[in-house]
Amino acid sequence: MTRLKEDTIVIIDNRLLIFSGAINVSAFTFELFSLDLSTSFENNKLTWTLINEKSLPVYTSRSAAVLSLDNSRIYLYGVPPRSAVKGVIDNSGIIFIFGEFNVTNLTSNKGDLYNDMNILNTVSNTWTTLSIPGNLPI
């Protein structure tokens, strides 16, 4: 497996999934890799499975991956220009996403920070955006 940067990771049951990422500032991958966590392994001898070679339909580098409460769906958020996001889900199926970054210069990795929180209600499939004034924890 090529060493990826800015990849997106989620664990479902005993499987670690890695959604693409960046090889460098101008080369991105569009694959999905899997690692079986149900058996023991050595860190320097990992057995990765390539699930979809170059066939992910979306850009997922620096995205947030949040697993649904019943493990049946993976919610991906953070396509350009917003990236470097983190997401969590509560026990009622509400996903909170904060920490978005708009990269305006890929070489120097400079850009703008967003001061808002996006909320997805996975039960009603509705989005809400909150403005966060004041001092931020970043």
Q: How far is C-alpha 75 from the geometric centre of its chain's CA atoms?
A: 9
Q: How far apart are CA 34 and CA 50, in angstroms?
A: 6
Output the pLDDT for position 7.
73
Q: What is the pLDDT of residues 70-125, one digit of tens each?
A: 988 888 877 565 666 778 999 999 999 876 777 777 677 777 777 778 899 999 99
Output the pLDDT for position 138.
55
Mean pLDDT for the stretch of residues 58-69: 78
CB atoms within 10 A of CB 119: 15
| pLDDT of 40 over the 60 cut | yes
Rounded alpha-carbon distances, angstroms, from residue 83 to 23, 35, 100, 122:
16, 25, 5, 21
Inter-residue contact 94 to 69 (CB < 8 Å): no
